[in-house]
Amino acid sequence: MNVLVINAGSSSLKYQLYNMVTEEVLSKGRVERIGMDSSILTHEVDEKPEVREVSEILDHTTAIRKVLDMLTHREFGVLRNIKEIRAVGHRVVHGGESFSESVLVDKDVKLEIRQLFDLAPLHNPAHMMGIMAVETNLPDVPQVVVFDTAFHQTMPKNSYLYAIPTVLYRKHKIRRYGFHGTSCDYVSKRAAEFLGRPIKELNLIVCHIGNGASCTAVLGGKSFDTSMGMTPLEGLMMGTRSGDLDPAIVPYTLNKEELTLNEVNSMLNKHSGLLAVSGISSDMREVVQAMKEGNEQAKLAFEMYAYRIRKYIGAYAAAMNGVDAVIFTAGVGENSDVLRQAVCEGLTFFGIGLDHERNAVRSGEPRRISTDDSKVEVLVVPTNEELLIARDTYRLVLGEGK
Q: Which C-beta is closer to ligand AMP: that of 76 or that of 302?
A: 302
Does 7 sit near ligand AMP (CB under 6 A)? Answer: no
Torsion sign, CA atoms 66, 386, 183, 279: negative
Position among 45, 238, 332, 354 found at the interface with ligand AMP (CB under 6 A): 332
CB of 284 to ligand AMP, least distance (A): 4
Largest CA-CA distance found in the chain, in angstroms, rounded: 62
Does 78 sit near ligand AMP (CB under 6 A)? Answer: no
Contact indicator for 85, 141 with CB cutoff of 8 Å: yes
Q: Which C-beta is closer to ligand AMP: that of 285 or that of 356?
A: 285
CB of 372 to ligand AMP, least distance (A): 26
Rounded to the nearest 10°, the torsion over CA 100, 15, 104, 193 is -50
CB of 280 to ligand AMP, least distance (A): 12
Burial class from Cβ neighbours inside 10 Å (0-12, 13-18, 19+) for residue 74 reads: exposed
Kindly write down the DSSP assignment for every residue of 314-374, as one continuous string.
HHHHHHTT--SEEEEEHHHHHH-HHHHHHHHHTTGGGT--B-HHHHH---SS-EE-B-TT-
CB of 303 to ligand AMP, least distance (A): 15
Q: Is 210 annotated as a binding residue?
A: yes
Q: Which C-beta is closer to ligand AMP: that of 78 or that of 284?
A: 284
- Side-chain-side CA neighbours of 373 within 13 Å: the count stands at 1
Position among 77, 95, 210, 243 found at the interface with ligand AMP (CB under 6 A): 210
Strands of 184-311, DSSP E: 203-209, 213-219, 222-226
Q: Which of the stretches 73-81, 242-250, 298-306, 328-336 binds ligand AMP when contact is defined by CB under 6 A?
A: 328-336
Q: Which residues, in sequence order, are CB contacts of 8 under 8 Å at separation 6+?
A: 60, 90, 91, 126, 127, 129, 130, 131, 133
- Does the annotation count 148 as an active-site position? yes
Query: Which DSSP category does 387 fall into?
Result: H
Q: Which of the stretches 75-83, 131-139, 193-201, 277-285 binds ligand AMP when contact is defined by CB under 6 A?
A: 277-285
Q: Is 308 annotated as a binding residue?
A: no
Site string for ligand AMP, 279-318 (x = CB under 6 A): ----xxx---------------------------------
CB of 334 to ligand AMP, least distance (A): 8
Which of 69, 148, 185, 225 is catalytic? The answer is 148
**Residue of 244, 246, 248, 219 lying closest to 232 (CA atoms):** 244
CB of 205 to ligand AMP, least distance (A): 18
Question: 10 Å Cβ neighbour count for 383?
Answer: 25
Binders of ligand AMP among residues 221 to 250 (CB under 6 A) are 239
Residues 263, 264, 270: CA angle, nearest 5 degrees: 80
Does 331 sit near ligand AMP (CB under 6 A)? Answer: yes
Q: Is 343 annotated as a binding residue?
A: no
Contact indicator for 180, 126 with CB cutoff of 8 Å: no
Would you please indicate which residues are annotated as catalytic (active-site) residues?
A: 148
Binding residues for ligand AMP (CB under 6 A)? 210-211, 239, 283-285, 330-332, 335-336
Give the residue ranges of the annotated binding site.
7, 14, 91, 208-212, 283-285, 331-335, 385
